[in-house]
């Protein structure tokens, strides 16, 4: 609670890393409900501009090193839930 938390995500790809690579982070609350996209990356980071994680997510990854991690500032108990990292590097998915 209150301290920045890192959500780690690592990947390997059989294709060279290009600007076509995308990273999507989705979130579903512990209480259930719909998945929501909270972060998108394609060449540059696109943190969400709406919802509970607005202005609290930062990119800490390095796709050249197979790292697609993010950080969440000022976490609270209600942030608990399922976080999913999805990396696509066409043609390797």
Give the start-to-end residue ranges of the domains of the chain. Answer: 4-88
User: Which of the 8 DSSP states describes residue 79?
Assistant: G
pTM of the predicted model as reported, rounded to 2 decimal places:
0.93
What are the helix and strand counts (H, E) for the chain?
0, 7
Coil vs helix vs strand at 63: helix
**CATH architecture for the domain at 4-88:** Sandwich (2.60)
* Residue 10 φ/ψ region, left for φ over 0, alpha for ψ in the -120 to 50 degree band, beta for the rest: beta
CA-CA-CA-CA dihedral for 86, 60, 66, 25, to nearest 10 = 0
Q: How far apart are CA 29 and CA 71, in angstroms?
A: 17
What are residue 20's DSSP bridge partners?
A: none
pLDDT by residue (tens digit) across 33-89?
Answer: 899 999 999 999 999 999 999 999 999 999 999 999 999 999 999 999 999 999 999
Q: Which residue has the higher pLDDT, 71 or 93?
A: 71
């Amino acid at each position: 609670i209150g301290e920045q938390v890192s959500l780690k995500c690592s990947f390997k790809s059989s294709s060279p890393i290009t600007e076509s690579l995308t990273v999507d982070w989705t979130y579903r609350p512990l209480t259930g409900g719909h998945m929501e996209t909270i972060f998108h990356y394609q060449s540059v980071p696109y943190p969400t501009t709406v919802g509970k994680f607005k202005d609290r997510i930062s990119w800490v990854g390095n796709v050249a090193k197979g790292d697609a991690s993010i950080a969440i500032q000022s976490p609270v108990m209600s942030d608990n839930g399922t976080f999913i990292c999805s990396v696509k590097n066409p043609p390797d998915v």
